[in-house]
Amino acid sequence: MDKRCLRYGILSLLLLSVGLFPATGSAAPQGRYTVLIDAAHGGGEPGVVSEKIREKDLTLGLALLIRQEAQKTGNIQVQLTRSADKEMAVAERIKAIEAQKPDCVLSLHVNAGFGKKAAGYEVYFPGFRQTAAGGAESAAIIKDMAVNRHLNDSVRLAQPIQAALETVFPRKGRGLRDAPSPLLEGVSLPGLVVEVAFLTQPDEKKKLTNAETQKAIARALVKGLREYFQSTP
Query: Is there a contact between 58 and 23 (Cβ–Cβ < 8 Å)?
Result: no
Least distance from C-beta 154 to Zn ion, angstroms?
19
**Nearest residue to Zn ion, by Cβ distance, number only:** 109
Q: Which residues pair with 120 in a beta bridge?
A: none
Spatial CA neighbour of 112 closest among 183, 175, 205: 205
**Cα 89 from Cα 40, distance rounded (Å):** 10
Least distance from C-beta 40 to Zn ion, angstroms?
4
Least distance from C-beta 168 to Zn ion, angstroms?
19
Site string for Zn ion, 108-137 (x = CB under 5 A): -x----------------------------
Nearer to Zn ion, 194 or 218 (CB): 194
Which region among 4-12, 22-30, 102-110, 215-223 touches Zn ion (by CB under 5 A)?
Answer: 102-110
Query: Is there a contact between 181 and 125 (Cβ–Cβ < 8 Å)?
Result: yes
**Cα 18 from Cα 39, distance rounded (Å):** 45
Site string for Zn ion, 43-72 (x = CB under 5 A): ----x-------------------------
What sign does the CA torsion over 77, 69, 168, 198 have? negative
Interface size with Zn ion, residues (CB under 5 A) = 3
Nearer to Zn ion, 40 or 63 (CB): 40
| Chain centroid to CA 51 | 29
| Chain centroid to CA 22 | 32
Nearer to Zn ion, 69 or 122 (CB): 122
Q: Does 102 bind Zn ion (CB under 5 A)?
A: no
Residues 29-48 touching Zn ion, rule: CB under 5 A, are: 40, 47
Query: Is there a contact between 157 and 210 (Cβ–Cβ < 8 Å)?
Result: no
Nearer to Zn ion, 57 or 103 (CB): 57
**Cα 20 from Cα 24, distance rounded (Å):** 12
Nearer to Zn ion, 73 or 113 (CB): 113
Q: Contact residues for Zn ion (CB under 5 A)? A: 40, 47, 109
